[in-house]
Amino acid sequence: MKKDIHPKFNLATKATCSCGATYTVGSTTDAISVEICSSCHPYYTGNEKIIDAAGRVDRFKKRAAAGKATTKAKK
């Protein structure tokens, strides 16, 4: 192998999330900045965020409730 062609690997690189959480990871860079991590991601925290664009979620819920009511009435 050739010498001095590989980047230096840092075992104590700080990865900082926008929520404020910091992690120590290994990387070839000195610092890492991320927007989302396991501390603030909705999948891991259980907090679901619904972005309602022009009332689409409400309209869907109304149609779903109306559909359940009609199926019960037919039986």
Beta-ladder partners of 13: 25
Q: Report all structural domains of the chain as residue ranges with CATH numbers, in order of start.
A: 1-47 (4.10.80.400)
The C-alpha atoms of residue 10 and residue 20 are separated, in whole angstroms, by 22
- State how far the Cα of 69 lies from the Cα of 26, in Å rounded to an integer: 56
- pTM score: 0.51
Q: What is the pLDDT of residues 10-61, one digit of tens each?
A: 999 999 998 899 999 999 999 999 988 888 887 777 777 666 667 787 888 8
Element (DSSP H or E) covering residue 30? none
